[in-house]
Amino acid sequence: MREFTIGANDAGQRADRFISKAVPKIAGGRMYKFLREKKIKLNGKRCEISTRLSEGDVITMYISDEFFETPPASDLDGISADVSVIYEDENVLLAYKPSGLVVHEDDENTRDTLIARITKYLIEKGEYDPAGEQSFAPALCNRLDRNTEGIVVCAKNAVSLRELNAAIREHRLRKRYLCAVVGCPRKPSGRIETYLEKVESENTVYVRTKRTPASKTAVTDYRVIKTAGELSLVEVELQTGRTHQIRVHMAYIGCPILGDGKYGRNDVNRRYRRRTQALCAYSLGFNVGASGPLGYFDGKTFTAPEPAFVRELFGDND
């Protein structure tokens, strides 16, 4: 028999999700079988899978000890704890992700990721103890492509994770980017609205002018800040968050992002010796509501330092 007392970072989630994370060896069909057989109980009674857990609840499992063997902890040996922090408090960390670093482990099983670095950083600060948590780990709330730099949000506890994920899902975060593009948009500002369809086998996104079963609406607002020769510095604001959205949309209007090897112009990329796209998630504004757990964030906007490519290509941005 094993008991789990629900703590602050475990509360608010469905019972089946907690069980899957706390005892991963019984995730899936075996867990549902144990629930049906009442080998897993909540506060001494039958445990329903959809029950939302509250702090102080007790889950009791009458199952073999073999399922509780602790898997080896994630190996962070050799991972740097060097994180460029833009803002941090007890709930949230805003980090600056450099170009070339992946946010999560990818298909190549890359160990050096942004979330690994943040986890190591929080462990060394004494703010996160993997052994002391039953189901929670620090989590990123937004993602950036490997070769896009800029602000990434990390939740340091379960309450902030739920609040931030809800804000992103409901489009209550204002995300703005800076990019260097080849050419200059015909209009100095405007909105690009198309359907985008991702072909997984190619990891490539295509513009569709009409809706298809696999496509999704994508909306991008842009504003030209300045030009320098054949290049333009453009501010982009996302109204939707589709894969490769900015890169595809800027290429669609004839102004691909400099350095973009997939959707851009390789002749220009070679001329400027750019191997990665000149794209930075530089500003993040929060509309999370004044009454919630993150109410102190409401109305705040955080801005990253000016990316190097702006100075290199356009001089001082004044």
Maximum C-alpha span of the chain? 72
Contacts from 103-110 at CB under 8 Å and sequence distance 24+? 103/140, 103/143, 103/144, 103/152, 104/140, 104/143, 106/146
DSSP annotation of 90: S
Residue 152: count other Cβ atoms within 10 Å of its Cβ. Answer: 23
Pick the catalytic residue from 10, 16, 57, 145: 145
145 is catalytic: yes
Q: What's the rounded Cα separation, in Å, for the pair 65 and 143?
A: 38
Q: What's the rounded Cα separation, in Å, for the pair 290 and 302?
A: 17
Q: Which of 213, 260, 208, 218 is nearest to 242 (CA)?
A: 218
Burial 180-219 (b: 16+ CB within 10 A, else e): bbbbbbeeeeeebebbbbbeeeeeebbeeeeeeeebbebe
Question: Which residues are part of the catalytic machinery?
Answer: 145
